[in-house]
Amino acid sequence: MSKCLLKADVRYLVALLALLGIITLFLILAPMKDVFLLPRTKYGLVFDAGSTHTALYIYQWPADKENDTGIVNQVETCAVPGPGISSYADNPALAGASLKPCLDKAMTIIPAKLQRDTPTYLGATAGMRLLREQNSTKAEQVFAEVVKAIRQYPVDFRGAQILTGNEEGSFGWITVNYLLETLVKFSFAEKWEHPQATEVLGALDLGGASTQITFQPGGTIEDKNTSVLFRLYGTNYSLYTHSYLCYGQTQALKMLLAALREGSSSPQRILHPCYPKGYQENITTTDLYDSPCVPAPSTPSTAQVLTVTGTGDPVACRTAIQKLFNFTCGAHRTCGFNGIYQPPVQGQFFAFSGFYYTFHFLNLTGQQSLGHVNSTIWAFCNTTWKELVENFPEEKERLHMYCSFAVYILTLLLDGYKFDEHTWSSIHFSRKVANTDVGWTLGYMLNLTNMIPSETPQQGIALQRSMWMAATVTLFIMLFLCFWLFTAICHQRKLVSYETF
């Protein structure tokens, strides 16, 4: 073909090939270049509708990162006024109205142009689980009102639900390990990576109506009802998790009070060994027996006023609290309490919510020894009400309950979850990590928005390969067309030469 080409044709061919080379090079290098755009921010809202109160958590993250999974930060927390939504069973409209001050606050934080793209969730825990057991119709009415209230705001509302106990424990575990970067870590190369040789931490949660324990055991989980499997960023996690309904600190101490009344010589007068000496209060039987956790006596009676008097006896307090549990394991070789299977605790643990707040008040969140913890609690429980009020005037509303809370936590962790003097040091009492509250809400949002994918994203690699293939095919086609074009030109010139001849 080259013999029939003129010099001009050769120049055209060279120019065309150069152009094809530039185009191909651009296609190859394009996916390797960073595209600089203005940073985008996304927001997320999660209501934690607990048994005693509701809180709104406002999260944000940079959306220009890989798979829209930039590091999540907590922007703000808003405490919803009033009690938990389950308390509005007889007036459900108030449950919805109670959420509005915090929603209004969120609208001042999230830019208006981003509000309609803000995923919003409400998760209810043990308080609503108990109400559903007690009266499912009232539970549905409360939920209908909170949904109606949230839908009045310009957000991407994705639903309200009652979490199971295992979900509550599992999402708390995800939150802990996400914040501590044991699941995924954002590298200097601005990519999420699974950290190598990093152990995950267990999660210990104590609410008002339930308590959860979640951890990765050393062996096989024998009871599948306590097993949950997560695949996060290409790594499988087989977790043990269990939630004990009625063993949150509020409900447990109601059970304690009912048990003390049952053992009292006078049903109207209760001597309480966990309350400080010199403290006295009146409660009604209606308030005491208002939960499925505390069944009313078999012989019903009209509402009565009960007088509760503190005796400040920590030994009797611990004995009374231990009677709330059944520590016999039955058919299980290893168990927690009440016959529930539990493998031996293993690894480090994060203890938050009620565990943290009580121990923080007693200044016991600094990894002190079990001996020091015991002596501190015993000394506090032996302090009279008069001395406590003088020392802690700002805590007067809950001050009489801290001995009960502390002894209950010790009993739950040591006798219930089977920590001992050797494993006690593995428990870290904490409220926040990196200015973000530890609890189930962040893990819940991360899971529902798929911000921790089950597999490592391969989108960038796939795109790069596809561009290479497109560039190669394009070059091949263009070269074929060039070859065909100049072959045709040569053939035409030969015919002209023959005709001239």
Confidence at 492, pLDDT banded by 50, 70, 90:
low
What pLDDT, in 10s, does the model give residues 188-213?
445 556 666 679 999 999 999 999 99
Confidence at 462, pLDDT banded by 50, 70, 90:
very low
As a whole-number percent, the residues of the chain with pLDDT over 90 amount to: 68
* Separation CA 284–CA 299 (nearest Å): 16
As a whole-number percent, the residues of the chain with pLDDT over 70 amount to: 78
Q: Are 59 and 74 in contact (CB under 8 A)?
A: yes
* Separation CA 434–CA 71 (nearest Å): 11
* Separation CA 461–CA 459 (nearest Å): 6
The phi and psi torsions of 191 (rounded to 5 degrees) equal: -135, 150
Nearby residues of 429 by Cβ (< 8 Å), 6 or more positions away: 351, 352, 355, 356, 359, 360, 364, 365
For the record, the structure tokens of 373 come out as 């913890």
Per the model's pLDDT, the better-predicted residue between 111 and 303 turns out to be: 111
Q: Are 4 and 498 in contact (CB under 8 A)?
A: no
Quickly count: other Cβ atoms within 10 Å of residue 115's Cβ: 18
Q: Are 109 and 33 in contact (CB under 8 A)?
A: no
Quickly count: other Cβ atoms within 10 Å of residue 184's Cβ: 23
Catalytic hit among 76, 145, 168, 193: 168
Q: Which of 131-145, 172-186, 446-460 has the lowest mean pLDDT?
A: 446-460
Q: What is the pLDDT of residue 299?
A: 66
pTM: 0.83
Q: Are 326 and 337 in contact (CB under 8 A)?
A: yes
Q: What is the pLDDT of residue 461?
A: 34
Is the pLDDT reported for residue 468 higher than 50?
Answer: no
What pLDDT, in 10s, does the model give residues 46-60?
999 999 999 999 999
**Assigned fold of 37-162:** Nucleotidyltransferase; domain 5 (3.30.420)
Mean pLDDT, range 292-300, rounded to an integer: 83
Q: What is the pLDDT of residue 234?
A: 80
Q: Which of 160-164, 227-231, 420-424 has the lowest mean pLDDT?
A: 227-231
Confidence at 465, pLDDT banded by 50, 70, 90:
very low
Nearby residues of 26 by Cβ (< 8 Å), 6 or more positions away: none
Is the pLDDT reported for residue 295 higher than 50?
Answer: yes
Asked about 168 being catalytic, the answer comes back as yes
For the record, the structure tokens of 294 come out as 């505390």
- Which one, of 264, 287, 260, 263, lies nearest residue 274 by Cα? 260
Is the pLDDT reported for residue 409 higher than 80?
Answer: yes
Q: Where along the chain do its domains lie? A: 2-33+459-500, 37-162
What pLDDT, in 10s, does the model give residues 300-322?
667 899 999 999 999 999 999 99
Find where tokens 């994705």 sit: 158
Mean pLDDT, range 83-87, rounded to an integer: 97
Amino acid at 322: Q
Between the alpha carbon of residue 307 and those of residues 211, 249, 282, 397, the distances in Å are 29, 21, 5, 17
Q: What is the pLDDT of residue 459?
A: 42
